[in-house]
Amino acid sequence: MADERVPALVAPWDQYVRSRRYAAVVHRLKGLTRAGKTAVPGRRPIGFLPGDDVTPQDVAMAMMAPEFCEGGGGGCTADDQCPDDGNPTCSVEKCENGRCAPPKYPPDLGSCPGDLGWSTEGMTPGRLAAVTCLEDLVAELGGTIVKKESGFRTLEYQTHLYNIYRAYTLLLTWPEAECTTARNAAIYERDNIHHIRGEVAQVGFHTAGDAFDITVSVPNEAALADEARTRCQIVRDVPRETWHWHYIGGN
C-alpha cells in the first residue's frame, strides 16, 4: 500500500502551468491581446502553438513584469500560482505579499552527531534528584514508568533534530516531484530513527540539562501533576507532550 503521508507526484501539465516558461507564455499572450495582435501570426509552420517561440530572454522579462512583482497587477495569492523552477535539488518558490519569492530551500539534515538516548551527562544533582523523585512518585500512585526516552542532549544533536522537524514540516506542503527524495528522507528520520513525536525547539531545555522525556502511566493524572510540581519541582509545560518534564527548581 502506498504511503499516504507522501503526496502524489505532480502531473506533467500541472508542473508546466507552474513553470517560468508558462508564466512567460501567459505574459506574452496578454501583451499581444493588449496590442490587438493575433497569438499565431501568419507564415507559421503547421502545429505551431502560442508560446513555441518564447525565448529565455522572454522568460526573464516576464518574471520582472508587474503581475509577478510585489504590489503590482494581480500577482499571486497562493503558492500554487508561483512557477516551479524545476531545480532537481528541491527548491520551491512561494507566494509572499503578492510576489513569487525566490526558491525556499529546506534545511540540510546533515549527518547525525549521535543520539545519546537516555543520558544524564549534563544534569546537575538537583535535576537528577528530580528524576528519582518522579520515579518514586509514580510508584506511590500505583503507576509505572513506561519509557525513559531522552535526557540531556548535545547542542549538535538538538540542532539535527530541529533541522529534521523543520524540513519535515516544510516538505509536507511541497508536493513538487523533485522534493520526493528529500521529503522521504525527512519522514524516515523523523518517524523511524529519532521517533520525533512533537515540535522541536532550536535550542531547548534538554541542551541545558533542565528537561527530560519520561513516559509514565498512573491512575490519577491530576495527583501526579500536583505532586510532581510541589515535591519534585518538575512540570509538563509543552502542550500535548505528556512525556516532557521541565525542572523548575534550583541547582
Q: Which domains does the chain have, with CATH numbers?
A: 12-100 (no CATH), 125-247 (3.30.1380)
Could you give the 3-state DSSP secondary structure of residue 145?
Answer: strand
Q: Which residues contact 66 (CB under 8 A, 6 or more apart)?
A: 72, 73
- Determine the Cα–Cα distance for residues 143 and 148; give it in Å rounded to an integer: 14
- Determine the Cα–Cα distance for residues 101 and 124; give it in Å rounded to an integer: 47
148 to 4, 10, 18, 168, 169: CA distances (angstroms): 30, 42, 47, 25, 26
What DSSP state is assigned to residue 9? Answer: P
- Determine the Cα–Cα distance for residues 47 and 65; give it in Å rounded to an integer: 29
Q: For residue 238, what pLDDT is reported?
A: 81
Please list the pLDDT of the chain residue by residue as tens digits (251 residues): 444 444 444 456 666 666 767 777 777 776 666 666 776 666 677 767 666 777 766 666 565 555 554 433 346 788 777 777 667 788 888 888 877 888 888 888 878 877 767 888 888 888 889 999 999 999 999 999 998 888 888 888 888 889 999 999 989 888 888 888 889 999 998 888 888 888 888 877 888 788 888 999 999 999 999 999 999 999 998 888 888 899 988 76
Instruction: Give one word for 71, left, alpha or beta, with left for phi > 0 and alpha for psi -120 to 50.
Output: left
Q: For residue 98, what pLDDT is reported?
A: 79
- Determine the Cα–Cα distance for residues 247 and 242; give it in Å rounded to an integer: 14
**Contact (Cβ atoms closer than 8 angstroms) between residue 219 and residue 225:** no
- Determine the Cα–Cα distance for residues 203 and 190; give it in Å rounded to an integer: 18
Q: For residue 45, what pLDDT is reported?
A: 72
Q: For residue 230, what pLDDT is reported?
A: 94
Q: For residue 69, what pLDDT is reported?
A: 47
Q: For residue 138, what pLDDT is reported?
A: 94
Residue with cell 503578492: 98
Q: For residue 70, what pLDDT is reported?
A: 40
Q: For residue 7, what pLDDT is reported?
A: 45
Q: For residue 136, what pLDDT is reported?
A: 95
Of 70, 164, 154, 146, the closest CA to residue 114 belongs to 154
Q: Which residues contact 69 (CB under 8 A, 6 or more apart)?
A: 75, 99
Strand ranges (E), the chain: 95-96, 99-100, 144-150, 211-217, 234-235, 244-247
